[in-house]
Amino acid sequence: MAESKRRGEDAVDERLDEGLDGDALRDDDVDERLDKPASRSKRATAVDKSTRAPAKRKAAARPGVFARIRNFIREIISELSKVIWPTRKELLTYTAVVVVFVAVIMTIVGLLDYGFAQAVLHVFGTGKGK
């Protein structure tokens, strides 16, 4: 949220509201459904099951391979447009922090490796005959 305010944008993405089609639920519909009791009679459940479309019809209504690939690419582009990309200054700062951190860890591991190698040589000898 802080990043979106820093960029001068509102935290709410108004483009999400544009993608809703006519079949989407309105707030009034949701309120009405929440007010209804959760339990249903057996008869109502049986009617609901009988109105379902068979699995074959659902598969036939599915878009083709190329349409699914096109939709997938569109969704990728849509998600990438929502990403908050770092500024050049932030990128350089993050890069410097990572490089310094890796250098410190490499130094610690190198010193430990050298210390253990010296300890092993001291305990087991240098390999020359005694």
pLDDT tens digits, 15-40: 555 555 554 555 555 556 555 555 55
pLDDT tens digits, 90-130: 999 999 999 999 999 999 999 999 999 999 999 998 766 54
* Tokens encoding 65: 């391979």
Amino acid at 122: H
User: 4 and 11 in contact (C-beta within 8 Å)?
Assistant: yes
From the list 57, 77, 71, the residue with the least C-alpha distance to 15 is: 77
